Amino acid sequence: MTAVQITRVAHRFVDVDGVRVFYREAGPADAPTLLLLHGFPSASHQFRRLIDALGTRYHLIAPDYPGFGHTEAPADFRYSFERLADVMEGFVRTLGLKSFALYAFDFGGPVGLRLATRLPGAVSGLIVQNANTYTEGLSPLALGMIANRPGVDGAEERVREILTLPVTRGQYEGGTTDTESVAPEGWTLDQHFLDLPGRKEAQVALALDYHSNVELYPVWQQWLREHRPPTLILWGRGDAFFPEAGAHAYLRDLPDAQLHLFDTGHFALEEKLPEIAPLIADFLDEIRAC
């Protein structure tokens, strides 16, 4: 009988400052660690196929933020990107992660770069996938959403309009070349979590705080210039929020970064995993060899 390697995935909770953080973990503990930070409106389940592909060779950890997925936050949790980073920093410290490559997708960009600036010695490498850090990487659609902030007339109502099933599905299928390659489980599960009590309020608070990320772009760019982490940039060029210019902009501060563009949308792993997973594996091997 032919031997088949099956990734064994553990599904765990850990308490971090009163937040019960859910996370998925796979792979040998002594292998290079990759911390997978998900985007909006998803959670760690967005990495399920990547974990299956790489989880026998590398140590993969994928948490859910407060307000997302299976993580349970107290009713009085105040949602902001700083608070998400606080919890993720506590998560990393609680698990005792001393060194890890950081996979930043979408919201994982502002959460992950906050984490990187707090724990610079821990980040062995950076994988950027449609996670923007430059103003030229903001489309008119993104700029319109960022203009929503506390005190702006109609801002909350405009945010709530994007928390619906058609928009959630559109974020997965938009920009793809083959919608049949996008499994419906991703967007249906995302919408399930969005529809839980209190979750839309959490997403409204985060959307109205998104401008704080743009204000920190110069700080993060300086961190990239000073620390020059080994970097792999993966970008779906059909992203309606973060256009291709945002990918190229990283090369100003990280001229040695590897850049790969794909004819797909925002959730690039959904359609292009067969092309992307080997690039990630090679990148992690290079980090291990250094």
pLDDT for 187 beyond 90: yes
Query: What's the mean pLDDT in 35-62?
Result: 97
pLDDT for 2 beyond 80: no
> Is residue 266 flagged as an active site residue?
yes
Helix pair angle (184-194, 165-173), 10° resolution: 150
Confidence of residue 290 (pLDDT cuts 50, 70, 90): confident
What residue ranges do the domains of the chain occupy? 9-289
| pLDDT of the residue at 4 | 73
Tens of pLDDT along 51-62? 999 999 999 999
Q: Which long-range contacts (CB under 8 A, 24 or more apart) does 190-197 make?
A: 190/41, 190/42, 190/43, 191/41, 191/165, 193/41, 193/43, 193/68, 193/69, 194/41, 194/163, 194/168
Tens of pLDDT along 256-276? 999 999 999 999 999 999 999
Confidence of residue 288 (pLDDT cuts 50, 70, 90): confident
Of 38, 45, 59, 266, the catalytic one is 266
Instruction: Select the CATH number that applies to the domain covering 9-289 from these four: 3.40.50.1820, 3.40.50.360, 3.40.50.300, 3.30.450.20.
Output: 3.40.50.1820
Mode of pairing for the β-strands spanning 9-16 and 33-37: unpaired
Q: Do 277 and 50 touch, CB atoms closer than 8 A?
A: yes
Give the full edge-to-edge strand order of the sheet including 123-129.
Answer: 9-16, 19-26, 59-63, 33-37, 100-105, 123-129, 231-236, 258-262
Q: Do 257 and 232 touch, CB atoms closer than 8 A?
A: yes
How many CB atoms neighbour CB 29 within 10 A?
A: 7
How confident is the prediction for the chain on average, in pLDDT? 96
pLDDT for 3 beyond 70: no
Query: What's the mean pLDDT in 110-133?
Result: 97
